[in-house]
Structure 1
């Protein structure tokens, strides 16, 4: 398994950094974060803006969960032409197909170069998503997941989130006898830094379903707390940080 972004994505990251304000990330600033442990970062989708800011500026190679239809050119073309450009953006079908053709090639190629993990929605295929994720985690590669139910929601707060992704912990624990650390992460535009929240992990003291509900709630609350700091006055925030 390759442990770095492909050349195409490396170039795109450098180009994007010319236009996207710098967001620093020094893992050493967060003593609670132990990257020697299996790590799943959780962030707000924010209609794609959330993961993009992270991938552009992260110094850490991480593999992102992405809707499987976007990773294959043919299924990506159908999704773009029949839904994204036609229904979502309201374009005529002929125009949607025209735009979807080159866009699907670029999207699928870029995502493969980004080493994303395809996320399938059928029960039989989702096993492949978890298998690939377990392989990455076992080799020390963090994973980035956006569990928003409404991924098109570009508002500041995280709403309802899926809990299904947490099943990866049960699979990891069964195979490697260890728990995963789930870590909220948010690219703060005001502070120009990536903020990391509390580390959350399963204890095994409750049934998986009950504990998954608790962990999901804590992740959502912690992520919204990080997002709230992005709405504060940067000058005021700097004063608070200086006092600390």
Structure 2
């Protein structure tokens, strides 16, 4: 798709979301949360699309969203919607599913290209492309937005179990720059109409990466729990 067209699709879609959704402010849960100038890897609860949609619409800084590779290309996007989303998941008859899937796939893939999303090739050797593209963005001082939920369809407010592969970005980034990455949880509070930036979580060492990776994962989960307890409603937040 032409770059100009895809960027216009993305800008128009973002405009529509901001017009028809409640307004969300970006709020710091702690002062001077990340004043190092190091690029940030934001982590948000997917909540069946709610997390990435509201984050992209209301964050006041540009980010590169990690998105499954099938949604970055119109053809594979169509197959995903036709073969699974509309037929298997939604139970729509195949003929009608094809009619719906085509324009939706054009629109969704256009949004992904327009926002410069980074395709994630999960379960494939091509995952190296994901990390190479991400590393290039980080070294250029650009930020990432990742939704690592294992159960991405869970609409509840609590961050559940996460894939931890994204934490390997630290290993490559520190090797290239000598600096630790900042991993920052985002909590979207419906009650407060705020996107809260949690405390930045850093690796403390470059040695024993496996154990330190687990430590960082645990601290991210603890920070999500803190944000949920402080800013959540106890229901859908």
TM-score of the superposed pair, with normalisation by structure 1: 0.88
Seen in structure 2, the aligned counterparts of structure 1 residues 27 and 141 have a Cα distance that, compared at 3 Å, is farther
Provide the alpha-carbon RMSD of the alignment: 2.1
Q: List alignment gaps of at least 5 residues for structure 2.
A: none
Report the TM-score when normalising by structure 2: 0.90
**Separation of aligned partners in 1, 2:207 and 2:136:** 26
Aligned to 1:237: none
**Equivalent residue number for residue 163 of structure 2:** 162
Aligned residues: 230
- Paired position in structure 1 for 2:151: 150
State the Cα deviation string for residues 51-73 of structure 1 (Å, max 9, x = none).
11111111100110000001101
Greater mean deviation of Cα atoms: 200-209 or 120-129 = 200-209
**Is the 2:62–2:143 Cα contact (8 Å) retained in structure 1?**
yes
User: What stretches of structure 1 of length at least 5 have no aligned partner?
Assistant: 234-244
2:82 aligned partner: 81
Of 29-38 and 110-119, deviating more is 29-38
Query: What SS is found at the alignment partner of 1:87?
Result: helix
> Hey, what's the Cα distance between the residues in 2 that align with 1:99 and 1:59?
33
Rounded to whole Å, the distance in 2 between the matches of 1:131 and 1:198 is 26
CA distance in 2 between counterparts of 1:123 and 1:103 reads 26
Contact 1:27/1:33 (8 A) holds in 2 = no
Map 1:1-244; keep pairs closer than 5 Å: 6-25=7-26, 30-34=31-35, 36-204=37-205, 206-228=207-229, 229-231=231-233
Distance in 1 (alpha carbons) for counterparts of 2:153 and 2:172: 29
- Quote the Cα distance in structure 1 between the aligned partners of 2:228 and 2:16: 26
Contact kept? 2:39, 2:141, Cα under 8 Å: yes
Closer, same or farther: CA 30–19 of 1 in aligned 2, 3 Å: farther
- State the alpha-carbon separation in 2 of the partners of residues 21 and 210 from structure 1: 41
Shift of 1:232: 5.7
- Contact 1:188-1:230 at 8 Å conserved across structures: yes
SS of the residue aligned with 1:124?
A: coil
